[in-house]
Amino acid sequence: MAPTPAPPAPPDEAPPLIRKPGTSWPDAWQRSLAVASEAFHGDQVGNLWAGTWHRDGHPQPAASPVDGTPIAGPPRLDADAALRAVRASLDQHRVWRDVPLPERKARITATLDALAAHRELLALLLVWEIGKPWKLARADVDRAIDGVRWYVAESDRMLVGRSPLPGPVSNIASWNYPMSVLVHAMLVQALAGNAVIAKTPTDGGLVCLTLASALAAREGVPITLVSGSGSALSPSLVRSPEIGCVSFVGGRDTGARVATAVADLGKRHVLEQEGLNTWAVWNFTDWPALTPQLRKTFDYAKQRCTAYPRFVVQRDAFADFLAAYLPAVRSVRFGHPLAVPDPAAPLPDLDFGPLINATKAKELADLTTEAISRGAVPLHRGTLADGHFLPAQDTSAYLPPTTLLAPPPSSPLHHAEPFGPVDTIVLVDTEAELLAAMNASNGALVATLSCDNEETFDRLAPQIRAFKVGHNAPRSRGDRAELFGGFGNSWRGAFVGGDLLVHAVTQGPTPERLPGNFPEYQLMP
């Protein structure tokens, strides 16, 4: 009798991942010091005001969401110091507004060239400070540079008959797009003849913004960059009479307080706030085209203002939708943005890394558990075992993709933007139900309606309360000439994008009604 063959040897296990050499936080920090030593003082980041870097404020501890590595924390100023910085910015503004446009263009262009020269370092800082995957971090830097170059080229036309504001523009922005939203806006505001002030976001982006601001300040661009709590700095950055315009990007609660302040003062303002962006499916059959689009919605863990966390689906089409959706969500790749199998390997192509911090990850995980306990149906629940991690690394800021059907009305997931990789699906039977579900948050920035019939889209789209509505494709904030704004509570003040961004921070012929969403009127472009 022939002997029983031995079972095949198990395949060798893949070697543990390592962090890509040269990408550690100390590497990024030392490179930043080498590029802009004036902005850093030993292990502390400076505040920039009156054209000088100051070692003031009270540094706060901070940790990277990537793996808990300690990183530089914000040097928080108190209210009196912030007021001095604002008054110094007004002095800069009175000089800068008279600098001829050709000179302003030259200085902004020199700044963009410097940013481009340090593109890789700025992207690496974004990875460590806010957890962006490498590909998305580089794209954030590139969009800032390329976008402002377009404004430089178009500025002669845009600024005909317009003048700078009476005072500097104050920027209070969220942490998720430090370069392509905040630095982009600051440089365009300066190009238009204004001094600019920015508050570093509380949750991340400090060193990246500091490096970018240092490169701009070297070229004589009048930038003020300060750190501090919203409660301490808000009286100076929002209510000070020196401020010519307030530009805010963030949540509705904080935005509402800012809106009240600027309305009381009659101050120019641009307030971009959250809204529940929805993607609806109605009388639709092109399912193969939908799957890759659905996966793209998970970019950066849906931590952006134009993410799509809510799907409104015709009940009769739910089985087909699920067959297109589940392969998309199951193919999502997440994990440590700098983990590689060997030193020579390229950085991983991930859909997302961590959330901004462990507190946010726990908050969303708890909301998901609570929604399920109240009747939501879990359609997909990823696990950390699916992630791309270093051995024994801290994963407390990571949340696997999750999908819930029919979140209960009592859950915040029913009506609010989660700002994380949690999708909710609502089933509807009529067009009236579809529109009600799409308009659940009283205004949004973007929406999409997937339907086969063009006439159906043309009839329903005007009833969707979103600034941009896509037909069978997602919409985004957009770059260059594309306009951007929001409906309802998702936006207050002047709309932006293209010529409107310049118009929002300059004065035109009197009287002038800017396109926007104001208490006394709403004017579409």
- Tell me, what's the pLDDT at 3? 44
pLDDT per position as a tens digit, 373-418:
999 999 999 999 999 999 999 999 999 999 999 999 999 999 889 9
What is the rounded CA–CA span in Å between residue 173 and residue 296?
24
3-state secondary structure of 133: coil
Q: How many helices (H) and strands (E) does the chain have?
A: 16, 27
The answer to whether 159 touches 226, Cβ cutoff 8 Å, is no
What is the rounded CA–CA span in Å between residue 389 and residue 19?
9
Q: What is the mean pLDDT of residues 133-161?
A: 98
- Tell me, what's the pLDDT at 12? 56
- Tell me, what's the pLDDT at 343? 96
Cα-flanking dihedrals φ and ψ of residue 494, to 5°? Answer: -70, 140
Stretch among 3-12, 117-126, 195-204, 285-294 having the lowest mean pLDDT: 3-12
Does the pLDDT of residue 231 top 50, yes or no? yes
- Tell me, what's the pLDDT at 4? 46
Task: Give 16's pLDDT tier (boundaries 50, 70, 90).
Answer: very high
Q: What is the mean pLDDT of residues 212-241?
A: 94
- Tell me, what's the pLDDT at 10? 47
Q: What is the mean pLDDT of the chain?
A: 94
Alpha helices in 271-357 (DSSP H): 287-296, 318-330
Q: What is the mean pLDDT of residues 60-74?
A: 96
Instruction: Residue 424: name the closest of 519, 249, 307, 512 by CA.
Output: 307
- Tell me, what's the pLDDT at 355? 98
Task: Give 251's pLDDT tier (boundaries 50, 70, 90).
Answer: confident
Residue 47: CB atoms within 10 Å: 25
pLDDT above 70 coverage of the chain, percent: 98
What is the rounded CA–CA span in Å between residue 124 and residue 143?
16
Q: Which residues pair with 425 in a beta bridge?
A: 311, 405
pLDDT above 90 coverage of the chain, percent: 87
Does the pLDDT of residue 172 top 80, yes or no? yes
Rounding to the nearest 10 degrees, give the CA dihedral for residues 209, 214, 219, 221: 50
Does the pLDDT of residue 2 top 60, yes or no? no
Q: What is the mean pLDDT of residues 87-92?
A: 98
Task: Give 11's pLDDT tier (boundaries 50, 70, 90).
Answer: low
pLDDT per position as a tens digit, 344-357:
999 999 999 999 99
What is the rounded CA–CA span in Å between residue 250 and residue 356?
14
Does the pLDDT of residue 176 top 60, yes or no? yes
Task: Give 140's pLDDT tier (boundaries 50, 70, 90).
Answer: very high
3-state secondary structure of 468: strand
Question: Cα 316 vs. chain centroid, distance in angstroms?
Answer: 35
The 3-state secondary structure of 178-239, one letter per residue: HHHHHHHHHHHHHHCCCCEEEECCCCCCHHHHHHHHHHHHHCCCCEEEEECCHHHHHHHHCC
Segment (H or E) for 466: strand 466-471
pLDDT per position as a tens digit, 418-428:
999 999 999 99
Task: Give 1's pLDDT tier (boundaries 50, 70, 90).
Answer: very low
Does the pLDDT of residue 429 top 80, yes or no? yes
- Tell me, what's the pLDDT at 63? 97
Residue 446: CB atoms within 10 Å: 26
The answer to whether 310 touches 278, Cβ cutoff 8 Å, is yes
Give burial (CB, 10 Å; 0-12/13-18/19+) of 383.
exposed
CA 372 to each of CA 210, 265, 368, 469: distance values in angstroms, whole numbers, following the listed order:
43, 45, 6, 30
- Tell me, what's the pLDDT at 258? 81
pLDDT per position as a tens digit, 281-292:
999 999 999 999
**Beta carbons within 8 Å of 303's beta carbon, 6+ residues apart:** 176, 352, 355, 356, 419, 420
Bigger pLDDT: 1 or 324? 324
Segment (H or E) for 450: strand 444-450
Q: What is the mean pLDDT of residues 291-299?
A: 96
- Tell me, what's the pLDDT at 26? 97
